[in-house]
Amino acid sequence: MKGGGSLAPTAAQRALTGEPVAGYRPPGRITGEAPGRVQAEDAGLHRRRLSVARPYYSPSPPRIFPAPACSTKSGGAEGSRTPDLLNAIEALSQLSYSPDRWVSYQNCEQADKCLSAIRWAHMLSSHRTDTGGLVPASAADLAKAIRSKQVSSREVIEEHLQRIEAVNPKLNAVAQLVAEDAMRQAADADEALARGELLGPLHGIPFTVKDWIETAGVICAAGRLERRDFVPRRDATVVARLRAAGAIMLAKTIDGIDNTVYGSPKNPYDLSRAPGGSSSGEAALIAAGGSPLGLGSDSGGSIRYPAHCCGIAGLKPTSGRVPLTGHFPRINALSDPRTQIGPMARFVADLALVLPLISGPDYSDAGAIPMPLEDWKLVDLRGSGLDMTGNVIPRGSGLNLTGGGAGQPPVRIAIFTEFAGASATQQTVATVRKAATALQDAGAEVEEAVPPRIEESLPITRAYWRRVESYSWNEWAPDKEKHRLTPEEIERSVFEWDRLRRAFLAFMRRYDAILCSVAGGPAGHGAAAAEEFIFTLPFSLTGYPCVAVRAGESAEGLPIGVQVVARPWREDVALAVGRHIENALGGWRPPWG
């Protein structure tokens, strides 16, 4: 967001008290006052609406951060307005926000401290209210706050459980809630921190899990009546790794739109609409503040499409990056190289936080590969040799494959909004082009280009769906009575699939990333047809990493996401491009007060 002039202390104080301030839009609250609609009510300070222009290499947008200079404590709005906070407001008012001056700063530490003090104080002052409290914070910010003992893990877990209790009757997003166990683990985490023991980078942070991913001691029905009482004996690898990083599981979330065990989840932005499938409850609950992050899975778009429908961020990693051990239906690299487990969150930075924690071989999934993961913060969109914080990227780092390093070309991005058999609404096309403009303004090289043979993706996928697969890894347990393909059709399907992959590889030789829509329009009513996944299916077949991030909204106020696709193993590029779009266009917007 561009801005000029200065922000007077009176304006900042009016923002803290909820009074209208030009240039910011307060969040809304989920209500049941109108059937099937999410109504907005003015409530508190919107975390992204103070008018501040920031350079593309800024380390972070204005957000809720622990503020070292602010010693505020929870205890009511009046109690939060300490001299430190007022000093922060005064310091903020002294900064001139003309674009020319702002871009001259190589780092934004002074403004970040001021904004952090204001937002953190406001968040703590509203801690026990229905205006958001700790709920809007990112997982990374909550982790910092817990480590610095500004809040306890117990407080964080308790507030998210309260949020689930408030929104789940409307959303029907939760399959299994483990509140007592979560509170016990939170108490253990706080005791460990008091002893000086840090459990990991996610110490005391809540997370949720799609009900296709198994969790020890908690029912994993996977939407099937025959599994409605099935209790796994061990965690899926990804769940075990998040626990080992200190995270605390709150709930299993409902998979799919027409779940035969738990019913249909709802979209928090419009309760008459679906949240997208099949990581449906996961996306809805994260968007509504019941969880800061979670785990989903994606075969043809089942992370990306719900993220788009619910206005959050989601990452489908490169095929082979994350082990699939403990996923149901059982997946392996030979029978289904499309399906991947990946993180979902409100903020792209949280996807980047989780990815290295769940990546790498587990010596059970034969398809998991020990591939190094590049640092997404070192990706330079403009090819200047500077990372997003303004630091010099070391020569020979290989961070950008067509650009990067001093004197090298900028990151090259292909953009398309349609192809044979695929089209999008006018608002969706405008959103993609707005994201492209933001990337171009940041120095990336953007051009129109459509990957060859992309129109073959849906027929190839339809043929794949007709194949017989096994429900078990260890025994042949077919999911269909017989094959619906002849032997020749099977071989032809594999041939066409491989031909598509080779065509895309040749195309990606010229580009670092692709920018396109996630779907043809915003969230719809009921289960989506196969054609709704036509923009996501190609990149499932190729196994490329993809980030979905909110970049706009429809006339009805529904989120519209865009999809950033990178070369194989270049999640760092997809994350960096997605983060810039999030910063430039706003990203997640709360559907509650």
Residues with a known catalytic role = 210, 278, 302
CA distance 243 to 227: 24
Instruction: Name the 3-class secondary structure at 260.
Output: coil
Question: Hey, what are 498's tokens?
Answer: 């491989």
Bridge partners, residue 548, by sequence? 314, 563
How far apart, in whole angstroms, are the C-alpha atoms of residue 421 and residue 284?
A: 29
- Secondary structure of residue 98 in the 3-state scheme: coil
**Pairwise CA distance, residues 146 & 189, whole Å:** 10
Tokens of 58: 């800024």
Residue with tokens 């090298």: 408
Token output for 139: 């997982």
Q: Give me 471's structure tokens.
A: 């429900």
Q: In Å, what is the CA distance from 445 to each residue of 8, 298, 378, 398, 402?
A: 38, 29, 18, 18, 11
3-state DSSP call for residue 521? coil
SS3 96: coil
Q: In degrees rounded to 5, what are phi and psi of residue 12?
A: -65, -40
Long-range contacts of 18-27 (CB under 8 A, 24+ apart): 18/42, 18/43, 18/44, 18/45, 21/49, 21/50, 22/51, 23/49, 23/50, 23/51, 24/48, 24/49, 24/50, 24/51, 25/49, 27/132, 27/136, 27/589, 27/590, 27/591, 27/592, 27/593
